[in-house]
Amino acid sequence: MVAAAGSGERAGAMKKGRKARNSPRAADVRERLAALDVKIARVREREQRLALRRLYRAGYFAVRFRNGEFAEMFAKAFPAEGRRPSTVSREEARRARLAAKQGSGSGARGREAGVATADPPAARGATMTAEERERLDPAGVLDDQESLQALDAEIARVREREERLALSRLDRAGYFGFRITNGEFAETFAKVFLTETRRPSTLARLEGRRVAHYAGQRARDARRKALLGGFVVAQCRHKAEVHAALVPDIGEWLMTHRNAAVGAKNVETLSGFFADAADKGLSGPPVNSRKARKERTHRLILLGAWVLARRERLKELRDLVAEELARFLDQGRRAALDKALLKDVLGK
């Protein structure tokens, strides 16, 4: 009888608990908790974006820090005592009080709901496949070179990793618990974190490599293509039969771009030249503006990229390069340098 009574009491308590949890008031609390979770996640994401901007401006990502060292220096630089709580910490406190009143503790905790960052962005570049490496594609016309693509992909990967680490360090150090103004953060960070010489970060080294590569190899590549494009234009203007023979192949090659829309745009870019070898878009216009020069250079680079891709396979072009290119380069003010730049094309 005693056991039966005890079982009845437990069943009654469980029934009463279920009623309490399913009451309109409990449902309202759960709804408010869910709304707070969404707000906390939104505010924390906003604060994380602000934190990353501050770190970039302060120079954090250019140098290396150890985890323990960073936490210790941050605590000294930004003591929490006497500071106003941040918006995210106030919302988390509200959620904790509301959850305590409900007494169930259901749902995710406020800090846990917002601590994760948003889904990491996809890498802004991807390493080329073996098939892409084997063929010369019109994608290489401007800055889509294989080595730059690979470097961009690595920079994107390292940047994403370093941003996650930075946010984790700030979170452990208590940064998101109180308010710091932009000016205070920049000034204090420089005084405390950047006074001594530090090793450059992996991200800084990769970005330095890209700058050097961009200014060197890319500039040389663009110059090579522009010279060859100028050569094609000169030959087509002097020989109508050359223009008629080459234009169809140029158009077909441009349309082999892996992105059909880009291929069509490149064809449109050269439409004036296709119609008339003396098109003004490939010579100095009366108003030689920066925009006009950029557009003219782009057209020449498109033609130069075609020369590099087709010079071994198209007999008309191969013969033209062998017979006329050296003579064309000799007319320039930098003949020796230009010939050295196109040594592989000249075959000398």
Burial of 227 (0-12, 13-18, 19+ CB in 10 A): buried
Contact 43, 36 (CB under 8 A): no
**Would you say residue 13 has pLDDT above 60?**
no
- Section 218-223 average pLDDT: 80
Taking only the tens place, the pLDDT of each residue in 86-103 is 888 888 888 888 888 776
Q: What's 178's DSSP letter? A: B
The number of helices, as runs of H, and strands, as runs of E, in the chain is 17, 0
The pLDDT confidence band at residue 122, using thresholds 50, 70 and 90, is very low
Average pLDDT across the chain, whole number: 79
Taking only the tens place, the pLDDT of each residue in 38-60 is 998 999 999 999 999 999 999 99
H/E element, 288: none
Q: What pTM was computed for the model?
A: 0.51
